Amino acid sequence: MAEIGKDIDKAARLLAAGELVAIPTETVYGLAGNALDEQAVLRIFKTKNRPEFDPLIVHLGDKGQLDDYVHEIPEELERLADRFWPGPLTLLLPKKAVISDLVTSGLDTVGVRIPRHPLTRGLLQHLDFPLAAPSANPFGYISPTRASHVQDQLGQQIPYILDGGVCDVGLESTIVGMEQGQVIVYRLGGISVSDLEQTVGKVLILPQSSSNPKSPGMLKSHYAPKKPVILGELDGLMDTYRQKGIVFAVLSFTRTFSELPGSLQLALSPSGDYDEAAKNLFSSMRLLDASEAELILAEELPEIHLGKAINDRLRRAAAK
């Protein structure tokens, strides 16, 4: 099993030697390797069983490093960076040759972000290379929001997990780029669309892709438990599956159900707080996936605040 600790120096030594290390961010835990080392990047794909057509995000220690890896940053995206970095924002920018096509799956753009988590920011400032770091989970499965999640899924395959506690945001970063002068949201995430639009005006939200995505996190079926997820109106779904004699678990926004045992239901936020719901989403899906239920019934949230991003993850989990 992987060693779990808070030793930045040890993590830096392993990464410099071409090893992979799980790192905490405010969004989810990442499986990090030297973004300039193709063998380390290949090891990320192999460890996650991730298809090589799905590009990786590159993590930097500060905005001043951007010039080393990208050709330019449009003025609108610079405004977003100034407001939201460090934080859960990834910008899709034209890459320089130093970033391998393996990282970007052959695209001429690379997703870059500056994470907010103090432990990982400290690590990045120890390194003279950026980190490629998709979520630290087997490809397509629920993203990890604490060190124990990484240990359970990848602990046999990596030497070290940098333990930064529970992730504050709990959803992956929002990915934003530009096409023909229009600001594009490629993946909904930890920054709401309304917050983006306060900074740059109206944005266009792209639907997710089923193959050859233009940015990380665009695959239609993703972030999924092993058990089937059925999305819809909970009362009707519960009646249907109760009549079929199927044991189900329920994932709601705020509600609890007196007729269900506590082990078969979770509310993302009993108080209706969207930030709390986002933070609890992946861990709740894990707990219900480990229950005795045969499937998970879930409801969509109102499409406001982080509700859009939470619904995006729920729809992808149900797409399988």
**Mean pLDDT, 10 residues at a time, over the chain (320 residues)?**
98 98 98 97 90 86 96 97 98 96 90 97 96 93 96 97 97 94 94 96 79 61 83 97 97 97 97 95 94 98 92 87
- Of 162, 157, 193, the residue nearest 59 (C-alpha): 162
- Order the strands of the 229-231 sheet from edge to edge: 229-231, 295-298, 248-252, 265-267
Q: Which residues contact 82 (CB under 8 A, 6 or more apart)?
A: none
Q: Residue for token digits 């103090």?
A: 118
User: Domains in the chain, please, with CATH?
Assistant: 3-205 (3.90.870.10), 229-319 (3.40.50.11030)
Q: What are the b/e assignments for 36-54, b being 16+ CB within 10 Å?
A: bbeebbebbbebbebeeeb
Q: Write out the two tokens for 19.
A: 């090893």
Q: Residue for token digits 């979520």?
A: 135
Phi, psi (degrees; rounded to nearest 5) at 225? -70, 170
Q: What is the DSSP letter of 81?
A: H
The Cα–Cα gap between 296 and 286 comes to 11
pLDDT, position 106:
84
Contact call for residues 163 and 5 (beta carbons, < 8 A): yes
pLDDT, position 211:
44
pLDDT, position 53:
67
- Of 200, 215, 206, 231, the residue nearest 316 (C-alpha): 231
Phi, psi (degrees; rounded to nearest 5) at 284? -65, -40
Q: Write out the two tokens for 66.
A: 């951007």
The Cα–Cα gap between 92 and 18 comes to 25
Q: Report angle CA 263, 265, 271 to the nearest 5 degrees.
A: 125
Q: Which residues contact 102 (CB under 8 A, 6 or more apart)?
A: 38, 41, 42, 52
Amino acid of residue 131: L
pLDDT, position 270:
97
Q: Write out the two tokens for 57.
A: 């995000």
The Cα–Cα gap between 32 and 35 comes to 8
In which element (H, E) is residue 312 found? Answer: helix 307-319
Contact call for residues 4 and 163 (beta carbons, < 8 A): yes
pLDDT, position 252:
98
Contact call for residues 37 and 18 (beta carbons, < 8 A): yes
Q: Environment class of residue 26 by beta-carbon count within 10 Å: exposed (0-12), middle (13-18) or buried (19+)?
A: buried
